[in-house]
Chains A and B, each alone.
Chain A
Amino acid sequence: MSNEINVKFHIRRYNPKKDKSPYFQVFDIPVSKGMVILDALHYIRENYDSSLAFRYSCRMGVCGSCGMLINGSPTLACNTQILDVSDKEITIGPLPNFQILKDLVPDLMPLFEKHRSISPFIIRDEKELDDPEGEYYQTPEQLEEYLQFTYCIKCGCCMAACPTLATDKNYLGPQPLSQAHRYNKDTRDSGRKKRNEITGSRDGAFKCHYAGECSRVCPKGVDPAKAVQILKRQLVFEFLHLIKKQEPCQKLHGPGKGEKLDIPEAPEKTV
C-alpha cells in the first residue's frame, strides 16, 4: 500500500518463568490508515515473534479483553487507531495495578473477585424467586439514573488508572464501586443495605480521592468517579437516616397478585 508509514512499537515483554524483570522490545511496523493497535500486535505475532502474548476476543470494543497501557494511557487495543496515538513511536504495556501473567496479559482475577463481592445482581426477596409475581415497571427517568453504568465491560482500564489502587491493593476500586451504585440505583433492587456493608467498609468508597482518572480513561464513556461520589453521599445520608425512600417498582402484570397497569392496547394490525 502506498500510504503506509513505519511506526516503532515498544512492547513491554515479560515472562515470569524466564525473565527476572520486564524489558522492552522494539518492532518496526508498516501502518496504514484505519489500523488499530490490535492489528499491529497481530502483525508482530505473525511476522516477528509468535511468542508475544496478549488477550483479545471481540475486536470491536465490547468484550473488554484487550485493555492495555498504550502510550501511558489504559485503553482498549481494538478501539484505538494507531495514527490517532502517534505516527512515530508507540509504547505498549500491560495494564498497571495488576500482576502480569505474561507480556501484555494482566491477571484480572482481583477485579472479578472485588466485583463479585458487591453482589452485582438484582437482589429481591427469596420468596419472590419461588413464586414470581410479575414484571416490574420502570420509568425512563428511573432507568436514566443508572443506565450509563450498565455500559461497563469490565476491561479494568479504570482500575489501572486509579492512583489510590496503585498504592493500596485492598481498595475496592472504581469498577466494583460504580457497579454497586448501578445496582443500588435500580428500582427493582432491594440489596442496597447488603452492598453498603462492603462499599462503606475501610477499603470502600471513602478511599476515593476523586482524581477522576477512571472516568477519563473509560473506553465506554462510563463515569465511575461520579458513581463513587454519589455512593459516598448515599452512605453518609443513609447513616444519618436522611436518604430518600427509593420509589418501588410497579408491578406490570403477572400470573398471581400483580395488577395490570392502565396501558393502552396496541392498535390492531393493518396488514
Chain B
Amino acid sequence: MKETKYFTLHLFAGLVLFFILGFHFLYTHIGTILYKVEDNISIERSQGRDSQTIFLVFFIFLLGFGLYHALFGLKNILHELTSSNGLKNFITGVIVIVGIFLFVFGSYFSVKAYKNQQIKTSKAEVINVK
C-alpha cells in the first residue's frame, strides 16, 4: 500500500500544480498578453514579488510539489527499464537525494532573495524617513 500513498500524493501534487501553475501563468504571462499588464515580467516586479512573504510561500510550494510530481514520474519511467529490485531501490535512493538537494537549493535561494529584498526595502524606508 506504500505505492498507493505515493501515487495518491503524486495525483494531489498534480492537482495542486494545476492551480499554482495556473495562477503563475495567469499572473505573470497570460495577464501580460491578455490584459496588457506591461511590466509583470520585468526584473523590478519580479524582485518586488520576491520581497513578499506570500510569494515566498508560493514559490516553495511550487518547488516542492513540482519536484515531487516530476521526480515521482521520472522514477516510474526509470523503474520500467529494469526488473532488478536492487537497481530499482538504487534509482529511488538517487532520486530522493536529488529531490531533497534541489528542494533545499531552491528554497535556500528563495529565502535568500526574500531576505535581500526585505533588507533593500527597509534601507529604502530608512532613506525615505531621513
Q: Which residues of A contact B (CB under 8 A)?
A: 164, 167-171, 196-197, 200-202, 204, 206-207, 232, 235-236, 238-240
Q: Does A200 lie within 8 Å of B80, measured CB to CB? A: no
Q: Which residue of A lies closest to B11 (CB)?
A: A236
Neighbouring A residues of B1 by C-beta, 8 Å: 196-197, 200-201, 235, 239
Given contacts A202-B88, A236-B11, contact A167 B80 (CB under 8 A): yes
Neighbouring A residues of B44 by C-beta, 8 Å: none
Neighbouring B residues of A240 by C-beta, 8 Å: 8
Q: Which residue of B lies closest to A202 (CB)?
A: B3
B4 at the interface (CB under 8 A from A): yes
For chain B, residues 33 to 68, give those with C-beta under 8 angstroms from any C-beta of chain A.
Answer: none
Neighbouring B residues of A197 by C-beta, 8 Å: 1
| 15 pairs from A and B in contact (CB 8 Å cutoff) | A167-B80, A167-B81, A168-B79, A168-B81, A168-B82, A168-B83, A170-B83, A196-B4, A200-B1, A202-B3, A202-B79, A204-B3, A235-B4, A236-B7, A236-B8
Q: Does A164 lie within 8 Å of B4, measured CB to CB? A: no
Closest-CB distance, A159 to chain B (whole angstroms): 15
Closest-CB distance, B19 to chain A (whole angstroms): 19
Neighbouring B residues of A171 by C-beta, 8 Å: 80
Task: Determine the distance from Cα of A196 to Cα of B2 in the docked complex, in whole angstroms.
Answer: 11
Closest-CB distance, B108 to chain A (whole angstroms): 32
Given contacts A170-B85, A239-B8, contact A164 B80 (CB under 8 A): yes
Chain B residues with a Cβ closer than 8 Å to the other chain, count: 16
Q: Which residue of A lies closest to B7 (CB)?
A: A206
B121 at the interface (CB under 8 A from A): no
Neighbouring A residues of B3 by C-beta, 8 Å: 200-202, 204, 206
Given contacts A196-B1, A201-B3, contact A207 B8 (CB under 8 A): no
Q: Which residue of B lies closest to A236 (CB)?
A: B8
Q: Which residue of A lies closest to B1 (CB)?
A: A200
B76 at the interface (CB under 8 A from A): yes
Neighbouring A residues of B82 by C-beta, 8 Å: 168
Given contacts A164-B80, A168-B80, A168-B83, contact A239 B4 (CB under 8 A): yes
Beyond known contacts A169-B83, A196-B4, A201-B1: 9 more, CB 8 A cutoff: A196-B1, A197-B1, A202-B3, A206-B7, A235-B1, A236-B8, A236-B11, A239-B5, A240-B8
Task: Determine the distance from Cα of A238 to Cα of B3 in the docked complex, in whole angstroms.
Answer: 13
Neighbouring B residues of A236 by C-beta, 8 Å: 4, 7-8, 11
Neighbouring A residues of B7 by C-beta, 8 Å: 206, 232, 235-236
Task: Determine the distance from Cα of A236 to Cα of B3 in the docked complex, in whole angstroms.
Answer: 10
Closest-CB distance, B107 to chain A (whole angstroms): 28
Closest-CB distance, B122 to chain A (whole angstroms): 45
For chain B, residues 66 to 94, give those with C-beta under 8 angstroms from any C-beta of chain A.
Answer: 76, 79-83, 85, 88
Task: Determine the distance from Cα of A7 to Cα of B2 in the docked complex, in whole angstroms.
Answer: 53
Neighbouring B residues of A235 by C-beta, 8 Å: 1, 4, 7
Neighbouring A residues of B8 by C-beta, 8 Å: 236, 239-240
Task: Determine the distance from Cα of A197 to Cα of B4 in the docked complex, in whole angstroms.
Answer: 9
